[in-house]
Amino acid sequence: MKQIWALIPLKNFARAKTRLAGALGAEVRRALTLAMARDVVAALASSRAVTRVILVSDIPHLENLIDIDGVGYFNTGLAQGLNEDLTTAARWAGTQGATDVLIAHGDLPQLTSQAIDRFILGAGRSTEYKVRAAACKEGSGTNLLFAPLPLPLPLVFGKNSLAGFHQAAAEAGMAIEVVRDSVLETDIDELADLKALAAAHARGEFVGAATAALLLSTMKARPTTSAAKCSKRHPVSAIF
Ligand SMILES: Nc1nc2c(ncn2[C@@H]2O[C@H](COP(=O)(O)OP(=O)(O)OP(=O)(O)O)[C@@H](O)[C@H]2O)c(=O)[nH]1
Ligand SMILES: O=C(O)[C@H](O)COP(=O)(O)O
């Protein structure tokens, strides 16, 4: 019986979401990072296929910030980098009884438990592929990775990671299966992504509860246009 553990890496707030730093102040980026991570955790916690959900981070007292029933925390100590932290956490998960890991980034606020189960259970049907990757919307990055333990290939998250995973798999004498799924594709990296997310929410598309609440509360607090123009770095409310 598979024991699938979800690992969600979360960067320290001081270094997180830097591509939004030109538009959003540190407090708003922190709130957004936390809200999206809460939504990712909640979706994974409701998945039928996932056995355990673990946050992988060096954020102190993260359990007080994301307090969802049954969620575990792997404290990396001082972060060594995304791939190093996840590799250490995956190895530890293996010693605790995990047979497989589902790595899911913390900035996927439209993630649903149905899409997660679709992704994982699809992997079960194919015996040809051991590793399955969900592409980001640009098709270059990897939003989720499903792999058995011990990991059969090195983790190479980062810029153009999908090509990196293909290469790592080829070097390990295997192939990976790439999934394009609109629900799994939506990561929030740039201001344009955030604007698109607000528009999707306004159209009635699903957005996780914590992120949706943040979008709504900041829109209610929307300043006048002239006030927004005066501010160099806008609150979320000023960008929609
Ligand atoms: N534990 C851990 N998580 C990380 C680290 N670097 C990135 N992450 C997490 O990995 C996921 C993808 O992160 P990135 O897109 O690289 O970084 P980001 O903070 O979301 O955005 P940028 O700073 O704009 O690149 C997010 O959930 C991050 O919080 C790290 O060194 N350690
Ligand atoms: O491996 C990846 O694709 C990155 O860790 C996340 O990519 P992005 O945040 O640049 O989309």
Is the distance from the beta carbon of residue 146 to the nearest atom of ligand 2 less than 6 Å?
no
Distance 59 CA to ligand 1 centre (A): 12
- Quickly state the pLDDT bin for 216 (edges 50, 70, 90): confident
CA distance 224 to 222: 7
> For residue 140, which atom of ligand 2 is closest to its CA?
3
Comparing 97-101, 190-194, 216-220, 231-235, the range with the smallest average pLDDT is 231-235
**Contact call for residues 234 and 24 (beta carbons, < 8 A):** yes
The closest of 151, 102, 93, 107 to 122, measured between CA atoms, is 102
Give residue 128's pLDDT.
76
- Provide the mean pLDDT of the chain: 91
* DSSP assigned state of 234: B
State whether the beta carbon of 142 lies less than 6 angstroms from ligand 2: yes
Q: Ligand 1 in contact with 140 (CB < 6 A)?
A: no
Q: Give the distance (Å) from ligand 1 centre to CA of residue 1.
A: 31
Per-residue pLDDT, averaged over 4-8, amounts to 98
Residue type, 196: A
Residue of 207, 222, 216, 200 lying closest to 40 (CA atoms): 207
- Ligand 1 proximity of 10 Cβ (cutoff 6 Å): yes
Domain boundaries, the chain: 4-188
Instruction: Indicate if ligand 1 lies below 6 Å from the C-beta of 132.
Output: no
Ligand 1 nearest atom to the CA of residue 141, by list position: 15
- Evaluate whether ipTM surpasses 0.90: yes
Give me the amino acid identity at 222: R
Amino acid at 219: M
Check residue 225 and give its pLDDT.
45
Q: Find the length of the chain.
A: 240
Q: Phi and psi at residue 82, in whole multiples of 5°?
A: -55, -50
Instruction: Decide whether any atom of ligand 1 lies within 6 Å of the 161 Cβ.
Output: no
Complete DSSP assignment for 40-100: HHHHHHT-SS--EEEEEE--TTHHHHS--TTEEEEE-SS---HHHHHHHHHHHHHHTT-SE
pLDDT at 220: 61
pLDDT at 232: 44
Question: Is ligand 2 within 6 A of the CB of residue 157?
Answer: yes
Query: Cα(14) to centroid of ligand 2, in Å?
Result: 18
CATH number, domain 4-188: 3.90.550.10
Residue 231 predicted with pLDDT over 50 = no
pLDDT higher at 127 or 24: 24
Which value, to the nearest 10 degrees, does the dihedral of the CA atoms of residues 25, 30, 33, 38 take?
-150
Q: Where in 76-214 does DSSP place strands (E)?
A: 100-104, 131-135, 142-148, 176-179
CB 176 within 8 A of CB 166: yes
C-alpha 6/C-alpha 11 separation (Å) is 16
CB-based contact 212:43 (threshold 8 Å): no
Closest alpha carbon to 89 in 145, 172, 133, 39: 145
